[in-house]
A and B are shown apart, each in its own frame.
Chain A
Amino acid sequence: MGTLRIMIAKPGLDGHDRGARVLARFLRDSGFEVIYTGCHQTPEQIVRAALQEDVDVVGLSCLSGAHRYLFPRVVKLLGEKGAGDIVVIGGGIIPEEDFVFLSDAGIRAVFTPGTPLEDIAAWIRTHVTRNGKESASVE
């Protein structure tokens, strides 16, 4: 019930957001409400925005190579704020050998260049439900 809300964010010192914008636009056309926060975000800013926006998904884009620090940091901070139910996914220039590391750190999916956009939308539809369905028990 309700439209899924997705935040697309670029953590760290990476100003290359063409991919993030293309994805944001595609998710809009797929019927999601997409909050785009732009480049150069700290994990703390991303997490606070995710809570205030009550998103179901945070999609992190990183092309700078700092994903091994930034992505897990976002998951950890969300957990600390009692928002571990928010699904975190990632994309960008991510070497395959990092996939297991990121998965272990709570990144639910990683999408690298060449992934059809429809695959990302389909993954979200399959794996994400509106958070707080048991909203009476919000923490």
Chain B
Amino acid sequence: MNHGVGDRVEKILRGDERSASRLIRDIEDDISGTRELIRALWYHAGQARIIGVTGSPGAGKSTAVGGLIGAYIKTGQSIGVLCVDPSSPFSGGALLGDRLRLQQHAGTPGVFIRSFATRGVTGGLSRAVGDAITILDAMGKDIILLESAGAGQQDVNIAHHVHTVLLILVPGMGDAIQVIKAGIMEIADIFIVNKAHRQGASDVIRDLTELPFVSRANDIPWTPLVLSLPDCADRDAFAVAIDGVAAAVDDHYRDMVENGRFGARLRRRAYYELSDAINWLVYGSLMEKLSRTGEIDAMVSRIVERDDDPYSMADTIIREQGRSVSFNVSAGRSAGGCNQNNDDGHQKNNGQRDEEIDGAQ
């Protein structure tokens, strides 16, 4: 499979859209050998500004992303958009409808839009978005917009992948206590109150601005900006407000750079890219092997019969694999902010198990 790797990398670096979209697909489908390409592309990436847009279903994420594309086109920047919608837990299928709000830009040169299904991953993202960001970055996109699936209170994973998080809120979703709850409210660098023509919008804006809302994401004070967007049917007013959002994103970026916080964001993203890679290559391949050989079934039986317990079993597996898997714990503490384990819960188990293992060794 090494055959053609350099060729595919070259094409992506030249901005070839089909090569990029095919590679994203191969990553999603875990086609063997595709990580070779990501390894190569990583060294060409690192220039793009990465902006995350999250919020509850129907809050207006795609509409805001569509507006931001328009705003950035005007400045002559090239744009990559990654948008995620849920996979069905029943059929495994998905209806990816974010493009519906973005299609006016589908013919615009320099704009690349790709839809993702979550494929069973919780947290509002697809497993492939980290690598997809690397691909678009290496392609030379100036701006990358990542739109999560409709998010709930603890869907904070988007913060792991981006430099700036926009959280879209709408009126009528609860009282002032919702605003001070933990979770997704803590990852916002910029709050956007959408559908601000609706009743209750001023209450939300007041709740967000009156409380001492200092983000703790990097242990350096940043008071999240609060903006609002009017009815998108009023196109002129909406476009003006969106320009304001783009300017706020620039302000946040400038603040990060000037106050030495940008490095922390880069480290946060790198930490989670590494964590994902380890999770996939170590945990993923181990579980795949145990499933393929049927060992896992035998182990489950022993645990059910209480001939063995899960922790001892895991300990045995690690010894037999001949590796120390103490990869996740200490690094996590130093990555700063947003230490919530991501992806699929397996990783969380991993982390806990590592502590057990460290203790045993």
Contacts and interface: CB of A to CB of B under 8 A. Distances in A.
Contacts, number: 112
B35 interface: no
B115 A54 contact: no
B322 interface: no
A3 B95 contact: no
Interface residues of B, number: 38
Nearest to A25: B95
A100 interface: no
Nearest to B24: A54
Contacts of A44: 107
Contacts of A1: 29, 31
A48 B94 contact: no
Contact of A52 (B8, B21, B33): B21
B44 interface: no
Q: Is the interface of B mostly helix, strand, loop or mixed?
A: mixed
Interface string A1-34: 1110100000000000000000011011111111
B57 interface: no
A99 interface: no
Given A35-B99, A36-B96, A36-B97, A45 B29 contact: no
Q: Most A CB atoms within 10 A — which of B1, B11, B29?
A: B29
A37 B21 contact: no
B21 A48 contact: no
Interface string A45-63: 1001101111000000000
A136 B3 contact: yes
A28 B21 contact: no
Given A2-B29, A136-B4, A137-B4, A54 B21 contact: yes
Contact of A38 (B18, B21, B100): B100
Given A28-B88, A52-B113, A135 B99 contact: no
Contacts of B106: 37, 41, 45, 48-49, 52
Contacts of B91: 28-31
A37 B3 CA distance: 36
Interface string A87-130: 00000000000000000000000000000000000000000001
A68 interface: no
Nearest to A26: B93
A77 to B, nearest CB: 12
A41 B100 CA distance: 10
Contact of B99 (A37, A51, A82, A136): A37
A104 B115 CA distance: 32
Contacts of A41: 103, 106
A2 B28 contact: yes
A83 interface: yes
A65 interface: no
Interface of A: 1-3, 5, 24-25, 27-38, 41-42, 44-45, 48-49, 51-54, 81-83, 130, 132, 135-139
18 contacts: A1-B31, A2-B31, A3-B117, A27-B93, A28-B91, A29-B93, A30-B91, A36-B95, A36-B96, A36-B99, A38-B100, A45-B106, A48-B106, A49-B106, A135-B22, A136-B4, A137-B4, A139-B18
